[in-house]
A = this chain, B = another copy of it.
């Protein structure tokens, strides 16, 4: 990926705090997604599009999914990192954005993440076409087709599943009055347990949001027993509320 090519790019330095990192001293996935989401907000604001302006259209940007990869070398709290992003392409309904997390000199790319955004009507809570005034400032190309993110494989009835339930907490809500979508990753990974999480590092992931988790709900986070497929350790995840599936994810792991 040529980080600088094409449309508007935006970068910001960020001092990695200890509370953005987990026990390994490296950023947790939920904090990584929170950080890139901040970069995306700062990018928008730098182009004059703050939340107020966006909401005047009666809608809001919503991430429909992420996919990404992390390199073996990860930054440690106390490091200053670079958060970067650019709008890659869009059509009437979808906008693609790339993110990167690098060291200050851009020598090490710690993470590369792609996100697909849709635009949601705040009243109907349904997807609607992206208002042109909210997309043209990014100077990304309008395209016919946006290739979808690879949909993670589903859990099957045969899978031996680990499940843990999580109540949504007040502090899972952010200033948009909705559950911060980065928090899903804490629910996704926690059932794997400390022993697994300390001795494996996430190499690749794909996460799709299907239905919003709401305040007051209890989610079930379900994951299969980690499986070796073609020498690659995989987990498949789902977040459910009652009988509905709210999010699915697939993760590739390495030992560490």
Which A residues contact B (CB, under 8 angstroms)?
14-15, 17-19, 21-25, 28, 30-31, 34-35, 37-38, 41, 45, 77-78, 164, 166-167, 169-171, 173-175, 177, 180, 182, 186, 189-190, 193-194, 197, 215-216
Contact = CB atoms under 8 A, between A and B. Distances in A.
Given A186-B171, A190-B169, A19 B45 contact: no
B194 A170 contact: yes
A19 B32 CA distance: 11
B169 A186 contact: yes
A170 B37 CA distance: 23
Q: Which of A34, A170, A190 has most B Cβ within 10 Å?
A: A170
Contact of A77 (B17, B35, B167, B175): B175
B22 A174 contact: yes
A89 to B, nearest CB: 26
A96 to B, nearest CB: 22
A215 B194 contact: yes
24 contacts: A14-B15, A18-B38, A18-B174, A18-B175, A19-B31, A19-B38, A19-B180, A19-B182, A21-B175, A22-B170, A22-B171, A22-B175, A23-B173, A23-B175, A25-B175, A28-B171, A169-B186, A169-B190, A170-B193, A170-B197, A171-B186, A173-B194, A194-B215, A194-B216
